[in-house]
Amino acid sequence: MAKTLDLERILHNQGVGSRKLCRIMILNEEITVNGELCEDPSAEFALENLRFTVKGEPWDYREKSYLMLHKPSNYECSHKTQHHPTIYSLLPHSLVERGVQCIGRLDEDTTGLILISDDGQFIHRMSSPKHKVPKVYEVTCKHPVSQANIHALLGGVQLVDEPTPIAALEVTQISDNVIHMTLAEGKYHQVKRMVAAIANRVEELKRIQIGELKLPENLAVGEWRWLSDKDLEKLNASK
């Protein structure tokens, strides 16, 4: 039998607000379900293909949230930030209410692709070191990058506090000072430390790809969008 749930709980689970607020909205005739006004907080609905409106604004029911964000510089990937605003302030409040988390963190001055979800299993799968989902970074360096440097990055560089040298999976030269570097791990400040190990310095860092999923060109800095089924397929193929 199709799974059903009462309207008050559905709205709360979808991040519309507290249980009390959702009940008040339903009683105030601010909610329609599948095209019809519903004033009963305990009315049960099948969850599949459920569509509802909140104060006239349409929502699709989502069991779990999966989204991507184009992270701007000077934002922190944490709910409790220290020096800059949180990336979660770039999302609608209803999503934050659902308890979404980013999958792996980017430094405050790093931009680019970041995945966000409230599906604990997905977060674990995508961030577990066991799965080694490759990530591609566009790295702008202070000094030109030589062929010998690229060789060193591919062969493995010794980082302080790491027992063995760490190698990039791929390095592509884009211009004198810009490389694309693919990493299998997500160690603390890994790109910056690897670039420091070749006696250079990262001036700008942008994550442009996770697994097979590229940062879309039409997703502006600071914007987010839902992951499509195709995006999720690409990510699942990456493991």
Answer yes or no whether residue 110 interacts with ligand URA by CB under 6 A: yes
Nearest partner of 150 among 111, 176, 189, judged by Cα: 176
Q: Which stretch binds ligand URA (CB under 6 A): 3-11, 105-113, 152-160, 166-174?
A: 105-113
Nearest one of 57, 34, 92, 100 to 7, comparing CA atoms = 34
Residue 107 is among the residues annotated as catalytic for this protein: yes
66 to each of 49, 72, 119, 194, how far by Cα in Å?
17, 19, 8, 31
> 148-167 mask for ligand URA (x: CB under 6 A)?
--------------------
Exposed e or buried b per residue across 86-113, where buried means at least 16 C-beta atoms within 10 angstroms of its C-beta: bbbebbeeebbbbebebbebbbbebbbb
Q: Exactly one of 106, 116, 126, 153 binds ligand URA (CB under 6 A); which one? A: 106
Size of the site for ligand URA (CB under 6 A): 8
Minimal distance, residue 217 CB to ligand URA, in Å: 21
The torsion angles phi and psi of 4, rounded to 5 degrees, stand at -125, 160
* Dihedral sign computed on CA atoms, order 35, 40, 45, 49: positive
Q: Is 138 exposed, middle or buried (0-12, 13-18, 19+ CB in 10 A)?
A: buried
Of 107, 109, 118, 119, which is the active-site residue?
107
What track of x and - describes contact with ligand URA for positions 192 through 231 (by CB under 6 A)? x------------x--------------------------
Q: Tell whether residue 132 is a contact of ligand URA (CB under 6 A).
A: no
Q: Beta-carbon neighbour count of residue 239 at 10 Å? A: 12
Report, in Å, the least distance between residue 206 CB and ligand URA. 9
Stretch that binds ligand URA, among 36-44, 162-170, 186-194, 210-218 (CB under 6 A): 186-194
| CB of 104 vs ligand URA, minimal distance in Å | 8
Span interacting with ligand URA, options 8-16, 53-61, 152-160, 189-197, rule CB under 6 A = 189-197
The tokens for 4 are 């059903």
Residues that bind ligand URA (CB under 6 A): 106-107, 110, 189-192, 205
- Residues recognised as catalytic: 107
